[in-house]
């Protein structure tokens, strides 16, 4: 499958990122309170490995990265595809989870994402230093 993601960084200084560090696949095992990395069942490539975003004029805001996600041939299950807000620093720490079904979709390893927020009274700089991701499109790739 493919996923097209836009990256935003509202800050006066530029930030160079590796888009592969902003995507992950995870699974919750036996309804436990923690998840495990499910990348052993997948390979992920990105159209760019070095992306520079943000500056005083909003350079490269909404820069688009295409991810190609390939499941190993014997993989089955429904996993969480995570695109995370990250903070550098900021008042938020959230994950955005999408479901990715592979094979027959069983077992279901999904869980609901979490978000920790803090109350902010001065919102003038609330988005400063936060990398945001926005999922634009997903689809299947024919080979």
Give the pLDDT confidence score for residue 87 in this predicted structure. Answer: 46
Give the pLDDT confidence score for residue 67 in this predicted structure. Answer: 94
Model confidence over 81-95: pLDDT tens digits? 887 655 444 444 555
Give the pLDDT confidence score for residue 65 in this predicted structure. Answer: 93
Q: Which of 80, 67, 56 is nearest to 7 (CA)?
A: 67
pLDDT of 58 higher than 70 = no
The reported pTM is 0.77
Q: Name the residue with higher pLDDT: 140 or 56.
A: 140
What DSSP line would sit under 27-92, residue for residue?
EE-TT-SSEEE-GGGEEEEES-S-EEE--TT-TTTTEEEEEEEEE-TT--EEEEEEEE-EESS-SE
């Amino acid at each position: 499958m493919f996923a097209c993601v836009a990256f935003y960084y509202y800050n006066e200084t530029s930030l160079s990122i590796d888009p592969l560090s902003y995507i992950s696949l995870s699974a919750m095992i036996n309804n436990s309170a923690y998840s495990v990395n499910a990348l052993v069942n997948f390979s992920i490539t990105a159209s760019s490995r070095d992306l520079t975003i943000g500056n005083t004029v909003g350079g490269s805001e909404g820069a688009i990265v295409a991810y190609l996600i390939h499941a190993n041939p014997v993989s089955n299950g429904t996993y969480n595809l995570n695109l995370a807000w990250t903070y550098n620093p900021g008042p938020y720490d959230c994950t955005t989870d999408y479901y990715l079904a592979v094979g027959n979709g069983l077992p279901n390893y999904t869980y609901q994402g979490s978000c920790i927020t803090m109350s902010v009274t001065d919102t003038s700089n609330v988005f400063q230093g936060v990398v945001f991701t926005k999922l634009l499109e997903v689809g299947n790739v024919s080979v």
